[in-house]
Amino acid sequence: MSSNLQATHVPSNSFVINIFEPHHCFPKIVQSVLTQIVNQKNLDKLKDYDGVEGLASGLKTNLNRGINGDVGDIAQRKEAFGSNTYRRSSPEKKLFYFVWEALREPTYLILLACAALLLGFEIKQHGLKEGWYDGGSIFVAVFAAIAISAINQFRQNRRLFVKLSKTRYNNVQVDVVRNGTSQKVSMSEIVVGDVVCLKSGDQVPADGLLIDGRNSLLVDESSMNGESDPVEVYLSRNPFLFCGTKVTAGNGRMLVTSVGMNTTWGEMMSSIDSNEQTALKFRLNKLTSSIGKVGLSVTFLVYVVLKFLFFIGYIKDKNGNTEYNGSKPKADVILNFVVGIIAAAVTILVDPITGGLPVGVTLTTYLMKRMTSDHAMDGELSACGTMGFATTICTDKTGTLTLNQMKVTKFWIGQESIEDSGTSVVELLNQGIGLNTTVSVNQSASGSKFQFSGSPTEKAILSWAVSELNLDMEGLKQSCEILHIGAFNSTKKKRGVLMRKRGQNTTYVHMKGAAEMVLAMCSHYYDVSGSIMVLDDVARKKFEGIIQGMAEGSLRCIAFAHKQVTGEENEEGKTQIEENCLNLLGLVGLTDPCRPGVKEVVEECQYTGVNVKMITGDNIFTAIEIATECGILEPNQDMESGVVLPGEEFRNYTPMERMEKVDNIRVMARSSPLDKLLMIQCLEQKGHVVVVIGNGTNDAPALKEADIGISIGRQATEMAKACSDIVIKDDDFGSVSAVLRWGRCVYTNVRKFIQLQLTLNVVALVINSVASVSTGEVPLSAVQWVWVNFVMNTLGALAIATEKPTEELMEKPPVGRTKQLITNAMWRNLLSQAFYQIAGLLTLQFKGEAIFNVSANVNDTLIFNVLVLCQGFNVFALWKLENKTVFEGIPKSKLFLGVIGVTIALQVVIVEFLKKFADTERLNWWQWGVCVGFASGCWLIWWVVKRIPVPEKPFLVGGGAPLPLPLCPHLPDTSFSSMPSELDPAPGAHSDDKVCSGNFESA
């Protein structure tokens, strides 16, 4: 039994050799061969197996009767070639997996171990009723932090899994032939070797080969290659059918060669099975990790110092006696010391480790999602915040910048532009348009409107002919008969039809296609009066100028020509339509209008410092025109400076040249999907945070590679949506601007909360460390610290997140990949606040009892109350992070004021009514006034320090380190990107949007 070897390229620049052994039931063929033939459109390989008939024989399929179809046959085929189901390369992870991953964090393990010891000792000393407070509250805090982390990771993983599972609908019924009978089976039950019957409107359920069809089968492959032109599938040159594509015209049968994950669609699905961190997630994780490490280091240092002080006799008990006097200590003394040192260490650690950063960021992003729901957006929450970093937007054209709704705007007869339908060649034009088309026309129930179905270009031409040239499709079909339909020629981008009027013997050829291609076949042309003129060199140059002028005006130019066929030619015409010495009937120019508001969005992005680049497969003339119309290029901009260039030229640059010139490029024309991917990698390597906007399946690699992928919902393929971080569901391009606004707002609010959290962390570490080293105790209990973190910071996050986007945010330059998350201004603000709070709290710690003539318990309550109120007043100051005015806009935000009010009310309850649980003492009005007065000093500190200038260059990088740069730009080896295309526009021709696009949509 022979085996088949296949080399698969992997990103690590190594090769994995996959060995495929033939199944014992199908010894003549292996899956790798079947995949290679269709995926690469390999006609030579197909001929090696004696064509479709030979493959069918190897698959034990009768092309007329289909497969046997019994239970055993189906089971063998699934065992040999797989089932028609789709899965990720890795199974879906359960919630427990992420909980376990979080539990493996060393800091959490240390904290839980210490909390367990503390809980045991406290229960032993004070009993279960009161001894669980400190240890139990720490357990609750740690488990809450773990739960939040695990749930966030689980939701992100689940989101991608659900999106991918929705890309196919396995309950769709498909017509197949099994054991000589036609039957309907679920799409998921299709197997290799099945004979599937296809008709117009059907989705191709798997990869396969056309067996037969009437003339040809027109297939919309835009979901796979981004082409708006349907591809003509026919036996002789292009029998290949791909899963996920759609039949737009014709009927035929196909032999299934690959199903499920072995199809081109399945390979693309597996290629997007990744879970990269967004820019915002990376920085927040980095910051959280740094905070934990600092907290752990300080805790260990305090532990060592306390142990040293104990053995040198510095630590005293409540009665003022030295706990260790050099003699052998008693067991209860050691026990008390251990309990005290663990309590102090855990209390120091509980703030930075279980701090409110994960909680606050989660609440901020979820609140932003609720607010952005008005803009009909869906996607990864952190991606919205990552938009605050964005420096460059790379966008597709068709269906993104434009509506993908073609419309005829220019009509030429001879060398004159015609504004009305009054032309002497209208009858011939109607024949050429109405008979040489793949569009179906139906009248509405009222009979007043026509409905067209087919490709955008074909629909636009036929709709124009019906409305402007009074084309009567039913009358035309009754008066004329079609003798032969020529196959679409992908090289010359034209299609012909042989016809004659009923009752007559005269036969005509009608040709329609790319204007420059049809023009080359013509020897004469009709002028506006209907006279036939010789197409000499002078006239030909004028027509070429007209065609180029339309291309420069972003119009797709389609030409119509005809010719009467003689009797001798007619005999040949039965198998081959004449393609020379035609008479040019006319030219039409079609435009794909830009989406409403595109120019305004582009201008707003540019105003904010975000560069917008268009990457398209169009020719340079059309790309320049569309880019100028959208505002990406300035009118009359110098094109010699490398602002516009073809994708091939960019591809052929050396890596150094690409890195030098990529920033200057505004438009890349004639580009392939790999050119787009290469540009994105270069931009990321240069430090840009890149947003990609695309809708096609062929955009999937770019959408996945980019920092943020955005798809326009209604026209986006399922694969594009699955690869996107954000989906704009209402098809409004203006929502891109909204995403940018909200992204900057989320990013700014996250920075505010980071500043609030870090201020508290610094204060907590310093106060606890100094107090524990100097007195052997910490001023606040673990319960109080848990309250400060989880209640105070949760409500603080809600208060901060209530601010909506402002124009001020859009006036600032983008953050980018290399700028620090914590700026110098933030360090200035948080350190000044921390210094003020530390100074006041240490004063209370060491002199509070004497200054206010209160007991130690009341003094500790004052410290706790001041600390909480300081954070509340700090939230007010953070409302406008960089404004010198503290209270600007606050009176208008009822939600903000409500959250602050609830926070103060809860603090009153904690202090006044939860004495045993929170270890507090009730305060009188004067003491409350002292606390509020000191906390309000935070406003004065803010007012002063915001006027102190700081340099832009960062002087502290901890936690705010720049994002890691991607690997050196490379061209990944993806099966779908290497799939050859039949369509390759000639220079000067208008393609739809991709490099492989054709000029003519009746393929």
Rounded distance, CA 672 to CA 995, Å? 5
Beta strands 726-728 and 667-669, pairing class: unpaired
- 406, 454 Cβ separation under 8 angstroms: no
Distance between CA atoms of residues 844 and 860, nearest Å:
8
Q: 514, 559 in Cβ contact below 8 A?
A: yes
In the numeric block, which tokens belong to residue 547?
A: 């065609």
Distance separating alpha carbons of residues 612 and 733, to the nearest angstrom:
14
- CA 609/CA 391 separation, integer angstroms: 7
Host H or E run for residue 669: strand 667-669
Q: What would the DSSP string read from start to end of 846-913?
A: HHHHHHHT--HHHHHHHHHHHHHHHHHHHHHHHTSSS-S-SSTTGGG-HHHHHHHHHHHHHHHHHHHH
Please tell me what DSSP assigns to residue 46: H
Residue type at 147 in one-letter notation: A
Pairing verdict, β 708-712 and 690-693:
parallel
| Catalytic pick among 134, 202, 396, 675 | 396
Distance between CA atoms of residues 310 and 333, nearest Å: 11
Q: Residue 72, Cβ neighbours under 10 Å: how many?
A: 10
**Residue that is written with structure tokens 């139906």 in the block:** 442
Contact assessment for residue 193 and residue 211, using Cβ atoms and an 8 Å cutoff: no
What would the DSSP string read from start to end of 298-312?
A: HHHHHHHHHHHHHHT
Torsion angles phi and psi, residue 14, rounded to 5: -125, 170
CA distance 42 to 257: 13
Q: What is the DSSP letter of 66?
A: B
> Each residue of 227-246: b (16+ CB within 10 Å) or e?
bbbbbbbbbeebbbbbbbbb
Q: How many CA atoms lie within 13 A of 97 on its CB side?
A: 9
Give 54's contacts (C-beta < 8 A, 6+ positions apart).
none
The residue type found at 654 is T
With left for phi above 0 and alpha for psi between -120 and 50, is residue 597 left, alpha or beta?
left
d(CA 355, CA 361): 11
Query: Which of these, 594, 591, 567, lies nearest to 578 by C-alpha position?
Result: 567
Residue (of 744, 410, 457, 728) closest to 595 by Cα position? 728
β-strand partners of 412: 417, 587
**Residue 42 burial by Cβ neighbours in a 10 Å radius (0-12, 13-18, 19+):** middle
Give the helix, strand, coil percentages of the chain, each rounded to 5. 50, 15, 35
Beta strands at 507-514 and 494-501: parallel, antiparallel or unpaired: antiparallel
Q: Across-strand partners of 178?
A: 67, 181
Question: What residues contact residue 828 under an 8 Å CB cut-off, 6+ apart?
Answer: 945, 948, 950
Query: What is the CA 985 to chain-centroid distance, rounded?
Result: 29
Give the C-alpha separation, 834 to 871, whole Å: 10
Please give the Cα distance from 312 to 849 (Å, whole number).
Answer: 28
Q: Is 731 a catalytic residue?
A: no
Kindly state the tokens that stand for 803: 């601010």
SS3 7: strand
Q: Active-site residue numbers?
A: 396
